[in-house]
C-alpha cells in the first residue's frame, strides 16, 4: 500500500513545478556553471605555462592531476555529510569556500549566499542510511561506475588538452582558442544537455530503462565527430565537428544524474553521487591529463587523442550493462528494498498532512 501511495505522490510532485522549485533549479544551475568555469579556466593557459617553464606534456598534465585528486577526496565525505546534516548548508559552505579564487570567485560568493536561502530539506531522522556496501550490491550502479570511468576519462582529456591542441596544430592564438573553444563548448554543450534531458525524459515514460539508453547513443554518435575534428584541415573545419562532438557528448549529463536518483532512495542520493564523483574523479579524471600527456610526449597530441575516443566508446559499451541490469532487476533493486519501503511509508504521511493543511487554507 505504501508503495502505491508513494508512486501516486511522486506523479503529483512531478506535475507541480512551483516557483520555489524553479528558483532552486536556477541557483543550482548557476552554481554548477561557476564551478565548471573555476575548474577549467587553467587549461586555456596550458600552452603558455608549458613554454614559460619548459614543461613536458606529462608534467603539465600532473598539475591537473593534483587538483583533481584534491577535488575527488572532498566529494564523497561531503556527499555523506549532505545526506546526514543539511544539503543546503553543505552546498553553501562549499561554494563560499572555493570562491575565495580572486576574480571568478565573486559570482561564487553571491551564489553561496543565495544557496543559504534554498528551502531546507529535513535530514533523515533515522539511523538507517544507505551504505557503500549496499550501493555496490546494485549491479546497475556498479556498471554505471565503470561506464563513468571511461566517459569521464574521455571528457576530461578533451577539456584539458583541447586548448593546447588547437594552438599547436590548428593555428589558434591563445585568445582565439579561449573564445572559439569556449563558445563552441557553451553552444554545443548547452544544446546537448537540453536535448539529452528532453529525450531521456521522453523515453523514461515508455520504458523503465528508457532514460539511460540515451547515454551510450550520445557517446557513439560523438566519437566520429571528435575524430573528424582532430583530423580536419584547419580552423573552419575543426569548430563545426568539435561542436557536434560536444553536443552528443553532453547528452549524458542530465540522464546520468537522473538515473542515479532513480536507482537510489532520496536519503541516499547525495552519498551515491559523492561515491560516483569520488570514483570517476580520482581514478579517471585525475589520470586522463597525465596519461594523454605521457603519450603526447612520445608521439603527438593527435595520436594521444585516439585514447579518449576509444575510451568513450568503451564507456558506451559498459552503459549497455546498466540498461540490461535495469531491465532485469528494475529501478528498485532488492538490495535497497528496505530503504525504498521506508521512504515510501515516510513520504506519504507527509504528503497527506500537506494536503490537509492546503485544503484548510
Residue-wise DSSP of 102-133: TTTHHHHHHHHHHHTTSPPPPPP-SS-PPPHH
50-54, 275-279, 332-336, 349-353: which range is least confident on average? 349-353
pLDDT at 356: 38
Q: For the chain, what are the domain ranges? A: 21-43+87-122, 56-85+131-354
Q: What is the pLDDT of residues 265-287, one digit of tens each?
A: 988 888 899 899 889 988 898 89
More confident residue, 80 or 302: 302
Q: What is the CATH number of domain 56-85+131-354?
A: 1.20.1250.20
Local confidence band at 202 (pLDDT 50, 70, 90 cut-offs): very high
**pLDDT recorded at residue 311:** 95
Residue ranges with strand state E in the chain: none
pLDDT for the residue numbered 317: 94
12 pLDDT more than 50 = no
pTM above 0.85, yes or no: no
Residue-level pLDDT at 176:
81
**pLDDT tens digits, 45-92:** 788 888 888 889 999 888 888 878 877 777 677 767 777 776 777 777
Rounded to 5°, angle at Cα 28 from 26 and 33: 95
d(CA 203, CA 47): 43
User: What digits encode the pLDDT tens for the residues 80-132?
Assistant: 777 777 677 777 777 777 666 745 566 666 766 676 666 666 555 555 688 89
Higher-confidence position of 195 and 6? 195
Q: Nearest-CA neighbor of 74 among 39, 124, 50, 104?
A: 39
How far apart are the two ends of the chain, measured CA to CA in Å?
Answer: 28
- Cα 96 to Cα 109: distance, rounded to the nearest angstrom: 5
pLDDT at 38 (0 to 100)? 66
Complete DSSP assignment for 254-293: HHHHHHHHHHS-GGGHHHHHHHHHHHHIIIIITTHHHHHH
What does each C-alpha distance from 355 to 120, 262, 295, 340, 348 come to in angstroms? Answer: 19, 25, 61, 22, 10
Give residue 276's pLDDT. 93
pLDDT class of 4 with cuts at 50, 70, 90: very low
Backbone angles phi, psi at 323, to 5 degrees: -65, -45
Mean pLDDT of 303-325: 94
249: number of CA atoms within 13 Å, CB side? 35
What local confidence, expressed as pLDDT, does residue 182 receive?
Answer: 78
C-alpha cell at 244: 557536434
pLDDT tens for each residue of 139-186: 999 999 999 999 999 999 998 898 889 888 888 887 887 788 878 888
Amino acid at each position: 500500500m505504501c508503495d502505491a501511495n508513494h508512486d501516486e505522490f511522486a506523479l503529483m510532485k512531478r506535475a507541480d513545478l512551483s516557483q520555489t522549485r524553479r528558483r532552486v533549479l536556477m541557483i543550482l544551475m548557476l552554481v554548477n556553471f561557476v564551478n565548471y568555469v573555476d575548474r577549467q579556466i587553467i587549461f586555456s593557459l596550458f600552452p603558455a605555462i608549458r613554454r614559460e617553464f619548459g614543461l613536458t606534456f606529462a608534467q603539465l598534465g600532473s598539475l591537473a592531476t593534483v587538483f583533481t585528486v584534491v577535488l575527488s577526496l572532498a566529494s564523497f565525505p561531503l556527499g555523506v555529510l549532505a545526506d546526514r546534516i543539511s544539503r543546503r548548508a553543505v552546498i553553501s559552505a562549499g561554494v563560499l569556500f572555493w570562491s575565495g579564487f580572486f576574480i571568478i570567485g565573486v559570482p561564487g560568493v553571491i551564489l553561496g549566499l543565495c544557496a543559504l536561502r534554498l528551502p531546507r530539506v529535513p535530514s533523515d531522522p533515522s539511523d538507517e542510511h544507505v551504505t557503500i556496501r549496499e550501493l555496490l550490491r546494485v549491479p546497475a550502479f556498479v556498471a554505471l561506475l565503470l561506464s563513468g570511468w571511461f566517459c569521464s576519462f574521455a571528457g576530461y582529456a578533451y577539456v584539458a588538452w583541447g586548448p593546447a591542441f588547437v594552438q599547436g596544430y590548428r593555428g589558434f592564438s591563445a585568445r582565439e582558442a579561449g573564445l572559439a573553444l569556449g563558445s563552441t563548448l557553451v553552444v554545443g554543450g548547452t544544446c546537448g544537455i537540453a536535448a539529452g534531458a528532453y529525450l531521456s525524459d521522453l523515453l523514461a515514460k515508455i520504458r523503465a530503462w528508457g532514460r539511460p539508453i540515451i547515454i551510450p547513443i550520445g557517446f557513439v554518435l560523438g566519437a566520429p565527430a571528435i575524430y573528424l575534428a582532430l583530423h580536419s584541415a584547419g580552423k573552419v573545419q575543426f569548430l563545426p565537428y568539435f561542436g557536434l562532438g560536444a553536443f552528443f557528448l553532453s547528452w549524458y549529463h542530465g540522464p546520468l544524474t537522473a538515473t542515479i536518483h532513480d536507482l537510489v532512495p532520496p536519503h541516499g542520493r547525495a552519498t551515491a553521487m559523492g561515491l560516483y564523483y569520488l570514483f570517476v574523479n580520482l581514478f579517471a579524471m585525475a589520470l586522463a591529463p597525465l596519461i594523454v600527456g605521457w603519450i603526447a610526449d612520445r608521439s603527438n597530441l593527435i595520436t594521444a587523442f585516439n585514447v579518449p575516443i576509444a575510451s568513450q566508446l568503451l564507456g558506451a559499451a559498459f552503459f549497455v550493462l546498466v540498461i540490461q541490469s535495469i531491465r532485469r532487476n528494475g529501478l528498485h533493486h532488492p538490495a535497497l528494498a528496505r530503504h525504498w519501503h521506508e521512504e515510501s511509508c515516510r513520504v506519504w504521511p507527509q504528503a497527506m498532512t500537506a494536503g490537509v493543511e492546503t485544503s484548510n487554507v
